[in-house]
Structure 1
Amino acid sequence: MRSTTRDIGDRDDLDVILRRFYTAAFADPLIGPFFTEIAGTDLEVHLPRITDFWERALFRTADYGRDAFAPHAALHSARPLTAAHFGRWTQLWHATVDGLHQGPTAERAKAQGERIAVAMLRRLAGPDAATDGGGGGFVPLAAFELRSVA
């Protein structure tokens, strides 16, 4: 296991983070079915694409030219994605990053994940989608202290 005192430094670090995150996400009773039942996600196919996404977002070193919104819109059409789903995704992402890394890039990864979750929710559910814990199910990260993920 990698030390939590080291920041996210490269694609290899992202690969470890994403494998751990998706292991937890696939097993999660709330969001797991979106990956396993609805999308039928093959992690070995998905991982290089999502690693490109995060490498571009954090380091600007990968070429990611895909539409990240389209697959989420398709999932939402099959079964609505709610604030609770995006809140849980954010909790797992935050816990995964925290469980492996500390530093400015790790903090940026967590903040970017939260921004993406809120933006996706608002595009899918409308600009008035509750993201402040006000009944919509989205739980702000500040309310949690998550140290590990399954």
Structure 2
Amino acid sequence: MATQDISSLGDIKLLVNTFYAKVQEDDLIGPIFNERMLGRWPEHLEKMYRFWQTILLEEHTYSGSPFPPHKQLPVNQTHFDRWMEIFTATVDFLFVGKLADEAKVRAANMAYMFNYKIEYFRNAENI
């Protein structure tokens, strides 16, 4: 059972590594990630460390726009629901506290926004 909050880059790395290890093995979203990340997992994980470090620890190490690389993914609400299920379970298993809760809120907001934008662009292209 988790007893501490997210408080360091080491905690961020533990969260990101544990989460993406589960993602890679997942029957629904694993194939999508593994196909896109082929040979680029270390680079992606480094980017995710910086992203979450910036959001949760307010140490500004990430710059960029997270949405464009995801725009053309073959995903829908079911995929985002599974992503959130894995993310939430990972956070809850590893951590407890204010930043752990913030991570789950931020992830849910991103999942909602990404799904909304992907659907928007997909529908706009079909007009």
TM-score, with structure 2 as normaliser: 0.89
Aligned positions of 1:33-48 closer than 5 A: 33-40=31-38, 42-48=40-46
Q: What is the aligned partner in structure 2 of residue 17 from structure 1?
A: 15
Aligned positions of 1:121-136 closer than 5 A: 121-126=115-120
Residues in 2 aligned to 1:41 and 1:87: alpha-carbon distance in whole angstroms: 26
Q: Which has the higher helix share?
A: 2
Q: What is the aligned partner in structure 2 of residue 93 from structure 1?
A: 87
Aligned positions of 1:1-150 closer than 5 A: 4-40=2-38, 42-74=40-72, 76=73, 80-126=74-120
Residues in 2 aligned to 1:122 and 1:8: alpha-carbon distance in whole angstroms: 29
Residues in 2 aligned to 1:36 and 1:72: alpha-carbon distance in whole angstroms: 14
For structure 1, the 5+ residue unaligned runs are 128-150
Cα offset, 1:51, TM superposition: 0.7
Q: Which has the higher contact order (CA 8 A, sep 6+)?
A: 2
RMSD of the alignment, in Å? 1.6
Identical counterparts, % of pairs: 31
Q: 2:23, 2:29 within 8 Å by CA — same for their partners in 1? A: yes
Q: 2:15, 2:91 within 8 Å by CA — same for their partners in 1? A: yes
Residues in 1 aligned to 2:43 and 2:116: alpha-carbon distance in whole angstroms: 28
Q: What is the aligned partner in structure 2 of residue 142 from structure 1?
A: none
Residues in 1 aligned to 2:49 and 2:67: alpha-carbon distance in whole angstroms: 16
Cα offset, 1:41, TM superposition: 5.7
Q: 1:35, 1:41 within 8 Å by CA — same for their partners in 2? A: no
Cα offset, 1:53, TM superposition: 0.5
Deviations 1:97-141 (A, max 9, x none): 0000000000000111001000000011139xxxxxxxxxxxxxx
Q: How many residues align?
A: 121
For structure 2, the 5+ residue unaligned runs are 122-127
Query: Amino acid of the residue matched to residue 119 of structure 1?
Result: M
Q: 1:119 to 1:28 in 2, by over 3 A?
A: same
Deviating runs (4+, > 4 A) in structure 1?
A: none
TM-score, with structure 1 as normaliser: 0.76
